[in-house]
Amino acid sequence: MNFRREIFLALFKSGAGTVGKIAFNAVALKLIALTMGPYGVGLFAQIRHLWQTSVTIGSINSGTAVIQGISSKSDVEKIAYVSSIFWLVTIVNISVSLLVYFLSGDISKYFLNDNSFNNQLVIERLSLASFFGVYLIFFSSVLNGYHAIGYYSLITTISAFFLMALSWPILIYTNNPAGNLILMITISELLALLICISLLIKKKMLYISWHINSLNFDFIKDFFKTSSALLVTGLFSMIVLLWIRTLIIETYGLYGAGIFDAAWLLCMTYVLIITKSFGAYFLPKLSCTADSNQRNLLINEGVRVVILITTPLIVALISFKPIIIALLYTNEFNESLQIMQWMLIADFFKIISWLLAFTMIAFKDIRAFFWSEVVFSSLLLFGMYLSIVRVGGYESIGITFLTVSFSYMVYTIAYNQIKNKIRLDNIMFLMMGMAVAIIVFSSFNTWGEDVINYKISIFNVVIGIVFSWIFLNKKERNKAIQLLGL
């Protein structure tokens, strides 16, 4: 089985959509930074995180479970499965949206540190954004479950495009900062949702039965085995990050939250590009691959491709991080470099560990997934508390993230070797070691610099590219040469 070609093709489709999403979101954030400064970025980050938390609860964090469920069932079962889970998600979604609406005062008080009428109104509007966001996750996951990765990527891009397109008129011509930010999210989610549903109907991938007899409670039970753990762990992770941001707001104010969010977004957004792009292929593929040898081959090939892509990318981000901050934000955000210089090293470990953690969901080892997420999220929260409240300084935040990310990678490697008998080849460990050495070397060359030394930065990037080129096979090199027109 040619996993290599499938991986690159899926990565290209999903990656293109996620890159588009990142680019459009970056423009929107740039406009927020220009019009509202670090305060506005911090406010937007907190509002968006509250919205994401609400969507996670309202959807029962069903995206991954829906993909896994559809991929592992026959064509006839898929129809009944989607219909059953749709009505379950609908009941929970309506309940959570109403709960957010009626608790708007308390939510505003605790998480925005202000329960004024204006902020309560923002949370009330957030309930509508959450309602649309839940359905967008569900229906886009149906697309992914049917392996329509191209359409899935299109929906991902469209949502961010609308957010960008709306940001300019809303931010410039209105005078209600918090209300403007949630309005941008609400409209962009609604428009993307309508397009997603239209695609599903056009491609005959959506069949929702209105009869109660069509509900398959065995499917619902099977769904809950995966989704309940994903909900608890996903919600726990969201709360951990929300708590971290709240600690930063209490210590450094919304200005500090903006500095943190600039580093967090820049270091985590491209990580999501890679993990979501691979996940769009790996999760359904692993779920329907029963042969242990094929699984081992798939994981090793996935790790190899991840290393080849991420190493030069991380090196480039490390080498040019000051100009990236200036382009995406403003010079007011330069303090975020203190966090980024540690987080960018950690990102390599984070990406590898996320790829290896897909096996827990694909093979339905929900207990291992649950406890690993709870334990390592708790370690991150505890470390961040010490960093923010006890130690102080932005740099300690990055060190904590690096420590936890490395520990999680070691755990996922050991878990797969012991539990799933999936062993990484010696060449994979050699590649990982060399990649880490190149990343650390590039970091050392540019450590603490606010101004780019272009000779050193270009030298770093060349080393990263050469490394990846060496480990490409002959066919991949020939294909790369053709694409480059050489």
For residue range 308-348, list pLDDT tens digits in order. 888 998 999 999 988 888 887 877 888 888 888 999 999 99
Q: What pTM value is reported for the model? A: 0.70
Write down the pLDDT at residue 170: 73
Write down the pLDDT at residue 343: 92
- In the chain, which stretches have pLDDT less than 70? 1-19, 71-72, 74, 112-119, 147-149, 172-178, 209-215, 226, 273, 276-285, 287-290, 483-486
* Burial grade of 210 (CB within 10 A; 0-12, 13-18, 19 or more): exposed
Measured CA to CA in angstroms, residue 273 lies from 19, 85, 258, 409 at distances of 7, 27, 22, 18
CA atoms within 13 A on the CB side of 390: 7
Per the document, the length of the chain is 486
Report the amino acid identity of residue 442: S
User: How far is Cα 370 from Cα 374, in angstroms, rounded to an integer?
Assistant: 6
Torsion of CA 258, 262, 264, 266, to 10 degrees: 170
User: How far is Cα 387 from Cα 393, in angstroms, rounded to an integer?
Assistant: 7
Give the angle subtended at the CA of 173 by the CAs of 171 and 178, to the nearest 5°.
40
Write down the pLDDT at residue 236: 82
User: How far is Cα 40 from Cα 178, in angstroms, rounded to an integer?
Assistant: 9
Write down the pLDDT at residue 1: 47
Centroid of chain to Cα 197: 23
| pLDDT tens, residue by residue, 261-317 | 888 877 877 777 677 666 666 666 676 666 777 778 888 888 888 898 889 989 999
Centroid of chain to Cα 214: 34
User: How far is Cα 346 from Cα 404, in angstroms, rounded to an integer?
Assistant: 9
**What is the extent of the structural domain holding 366?**
3-484
Instruction: Give the chain's domain count.
Output: 1
The answer to whether the beta carbons of residues 328 and 26 sit under 8 Å apart is yes
The answer to whether the beta carbons of residues 178 and 111 sit under 8 Å apart is no
DSSP string, 259-270: HHHHHHHHHHHH
